[in-house]
Structure 1
Amino acid sequence: MLYDLARPFIFTLDAEKAHGLTIAGLKALPLGPVPKSDPVLATTLAGLDFPNPIGMAPGFDKNGEVPDKLIRMGFGFAEVGTLTPLPQPGNPKPRIFRLVKDKAVINRLGFNNGGQEEAAPRLKRMGGRMGGGVLGINIGANKDSEDRIADYVTGVRNMAPLADYLTVNISSPNTPGLRALQDKGALEELLSAVMEARDNITGGAPKVPVFLKVAPDLEPADIDDIVEVTAKHGLDALIISNTTITRPPLRSPHKGETGGLSGAPLKDLALQRLKDFRAASGGNIPLIGVGGIANAEDAYERIRAGASLVQLYTAMIYEGPAMARSMTCKLARLLKRDGFSSVAEAVGSADK
């Protein structure tokens, strides 16, 4: 109710300024207790224990400032970033546009962040503040890098010791040429280098799981190639998917802006891509569903379609900070209604 009252004022602010104020507000909050999730929501992926399968997608907390606060909001995991080896300002402003009539956002941020070196000490402190929630770190390449694969290797070396899992993000449409790394030959070279770097990290700790985040704008042959290369290199999960450069029918004045579209209009495409990857992999590669998830029913649909976990971001802009707690409560009821004793039991159940 409070957010419903405040939202008209918030939406009078520039979208990026409002986001900055949100991060500042969360940083100022005391570290409260972690809400307890219903045991039916507990699940395991890549050897990691998640109290619930609802996560905050990267892009919200680009510099890893508030993942501990996100867990207190009811998320089972928080993925920060995208973090690049060197700090970079991103693309010129304005670069975030609310499409209110469509419950969507178009952004062309371009991996704006303070860099891995700046974030590392803060993320190291976060290790003891996650309250049972899982910390993911999303890594990317600098826009002007002469060797983007080397940037991902640097990201693995810098961030793996601080993360519960790493995500290799090659799916942003806002860094020119980045999505070319999804091509089979380039992906083969990238994942070979990334996994070698991960395996060569010393210190005696277990090897950090590595996930790959891909775009929704793929052809069937692309999907088959990505599954083949991912399986060959033993990645732990695929994240399906990022924003889209396609444009379904939209009503908002900003519909013509360039950049990646997220939110409600992405739902059908993201769900179809999840199903496509489920079919291509035969269910043998864990999947994480992202894109257009706005409520517990959407999350449940994605789980039944094959997602072990789900992530959201844009919907919270419209629904408010209580969204994660509400979703987890409703998702638990949906699982129990259909006779599932765990999230894992429900994964891919729409196939049966």
Structure 2
Amino acid sequence: MKTAIIGLPMTGKTSLFTILTGVHETARTGAMETKVGVTKVPDRRLEALAKVFSPQKVTHATIEFIDFPSISRESLRDPSLLASLRVADALAHVVRLFEDDTVPHEKGSIDPMRDIADVDTELVLSDLAVVEKRLERLEKDRRKMKDPGLDREFELLEQARQMLENGEPLRGWDLQGEDEKRLRGFQFLSQKPILFVLNVGEKDAPRMTEIEQEYREKLLSGKSRAEVTAVCGKIEAELAELSAEEQKEYLASYGLPGSSLDRLVSVMYRLLGLMSFLTAGETEVRAWTIPVNSTAVKAAGAIHSDFEKKFIRAEVVPWQALVEHGGYAGAREKGLLRLEGRDYIVKDGDVLVIRHG
């Protein structure tokens, strides 16, 4: 799953990307430069299971982040950059809340709601151009032939045009079934799930939870496919240079329970509609990424396509039961290890042992 990190200039987005992924090198995307990196999804369950099984390795789920150039009308006209942005599964919009006279804002003042609206406007205008171009083509095609599929696509795109002309992002549009499939290929930017990442200043770090809640009420009221999290880029940069013990002391000095970047990754994982099931043994303890509400047979396919094809059943146990009872034997003795069929809906944190032909 790919998440594009976007934002206006001087918001701290590239610094956050570097701290998240450790990647410093850039790659060319058309006329623009981008960076691509992968970060682990924090998961305390893996560490707990590792203490039980002492595996040779522990493997976390991951999210791929792409750091894009600052959003502007010019950048969204670059075809190759636009194509790369459209294939992202979600957007992380870094919004500047920190004050710093040495880092001037391009608009001369700090106004987060204005900046959020400006970026949304650019995404909306980019989508509107796509919709209008397709509608022109559909009008010609519909004059040549009678096709209910084309008629329905035209109706849906007219709805999209109305929303976009009103300045409304498409992420709140609740498309279902065939209608969703019909428009999926357009990969509209304003329809993608979005995480607003509030980059606060050092003096506001102790108030991060309060600031997060304030902006959640402003931005998310009645809206879907959007989330808010707050980080302090300056603190995270300092943490990256410290040992684990020093990190605890440093965070405690700000009254913070842990790294806000860990929370950012976890929130993005949920926003993408993902969850993890686990496998555990002496060779490896691992988190596997699947969509929420996946069946056992689809989970088996995440491990290996042959497991999905030759699926018989899955042994399932909650991760807590394995930890509490010291492994599979203890959980089985307590009757906590059960057999499930292919249509079982896997729960976040289930530990699976796949039986296959």
Normalising by structure 1, we get a TM-score of 0.32
The structure whose Rg is larger is: 2
Normalising by structure 2, we get a TM-score of 0.32
Q: Which structure has greater strand proportion?
A: 2
